[in-house]
Amino acid sequence: MPTPIALNSLDLPKSPAETRVVVAMSGGVDSSVVAGLLKQEGYDVVGVTLQLYDHGAATHRKGACCAGQDIQDARRVAEALEIPHYVLDYEDRFRTSVIEAFADSYLAGETPIPCVACNQTVKFSDLMETARDLGADCLATGHYVETRRLESGHRGLFRPVDLDRDQSYFLYATTQAQLDFLRFPLGRLTKPRTRDIARDLGLVVAEKHDSQDICFVPSGKYADVIERLRPSAVEPGEIVHVDGRVLGRHDGIIHFTVGQRRGLGVASGEPLYVVRVEAEHRRVVVGPREALATTSLDLRDVNWLGPSLDGCGEAGLDIFAKVRSTRPPAPAAIRWRDGRAVVELAQGELGVAPGQACVIYDGVEAGARVLGGGIINRPASAAGPVQGIAAE
């Protein structure tokens, strides 16, 4: 009987010295620690940094990923670790696949998540191809998420130990082929432990602050970016109450998102929230808080990583759904209806925005498996259509 081949810490049947790992280095502490840990274990580590936009352009924000200072930080870490480091110009690809798609989604009345699109089209597609061209056995990143080998031989995607840093919501669209090639060494570490390791390794980025905003949006002002990219598409329209009353006018739907309360520009005797954005009519519909309630979600562009749903019948599969990055997964059920994925939320949610992701889990705790997810189409709202004018 043949002797089983020993697997290294990355679940690969080679010694670390014989295993080439490309590390996606953003210039932050997380990816730098990944490179440092793997180098320390004896792996053949190659660092790659993607320049995603012109760091001298107006869209640059101090602390944003993959711009000027971050590239310099990644290079300094690579030099200290004595590993090869490459900077690849992906500006055109990033602009087309992420920034312009972001603008078009906002103009369609949605609230998009560009980080998901970036992972799908740039980091886990183009970068993986580059990693293979460099002879890599796998691609490692600094995301807080975990993959593990399943009985099928493929790898599953799981929530990390540090749920405060959980990034699985942004990675649900990773395909099975990509998961099999990816590794996430920080999945079993907490953020404080990661910083301790950075200090122990003497990395210059050990105290560097994390970026909180979308990297190409200065100061969180999405409308400025969209107006610059699509100046002729921003048109004024009406602000309408769910009961049909016209309350005022706006300067463009890009200034509004579902659930928004502040900055509506209308006076009312009750607190009002954006209930939905009707891009086809350039209309912003507002209403009381209870009008935000949503119990059923229709998903598109579904990426399913879990077991087959065949045989689940009309009842569907009991799951936990996460409808916003800042909310925990909540009890729900998923079923296929007329070829569409429909998620029924057991307790309902407030302020579910089309364009956001609905990510499906088999539990809520650390180590829960990501079963898949999709983009939320316009949700069914308890408020129903705007009275008297919805049939335009």
Catalytically annotated residues: 118, 215
Positive or negative, the CA dihedral 71, 72, 77, 83 is: positive
Centre a 10 Å sphere on the Cβ of residue 251 and count the other Cβ atoms it contains.
13
**What is the edge-to-edge ordering of all strands in the sheet holding 85-89?**
85-89, 44-51, 20-24, 138-140, 182-183
Instruction: Give the C-alpha separation, 227 to 223, whole Å.
Output: 6
Task: Give Cβ neighbours of residue 249 (< 8 Å, ≥ 6 apart).
Answer: 236, 237, 238, 239
Residue with tokens 């980025």: 205
Query: Where would I find the H helices in the chain?
Result: 29-40, 68-81, 91-94, 100-107, 114-118, 127-133, 176-181, 191-200, 222-229
Task: Give Cβ neighbours of residue 164 (< 8 Å, ≥ 6 apart).
Answer: 191
**Are residues 127 and 48 in contact, defined by beta-carbon separation less than 8 angstroms?**
yes
* Three-state secondary structure readout of 284-319: EEEECHHHHEEEEEEEEEEEECCCCCCCCCCCCEEE
Question: Long-range contact list for 331-334, CB < 8 A, 24+ apart?
Answer: 332/360, 334/309, 334/360
CA 138 distance to own-chain centroid: 21
Q: Is 209 exposed, middle or buried (0-12, 13-18, 19+ CB in 10 A)?
A: exposed
Radius of gyration (Cα) for the chain, nearest Å? 23
Annotate 12-50 with DSSP letters as a single string: -SS-GGG-EEEEE--SSHHHHHHHHHHHHTT-EEEEEEE
Centre a 10 Å sphere on the Cβ of residue 125 and count the other Cβ atoms it contains.
16
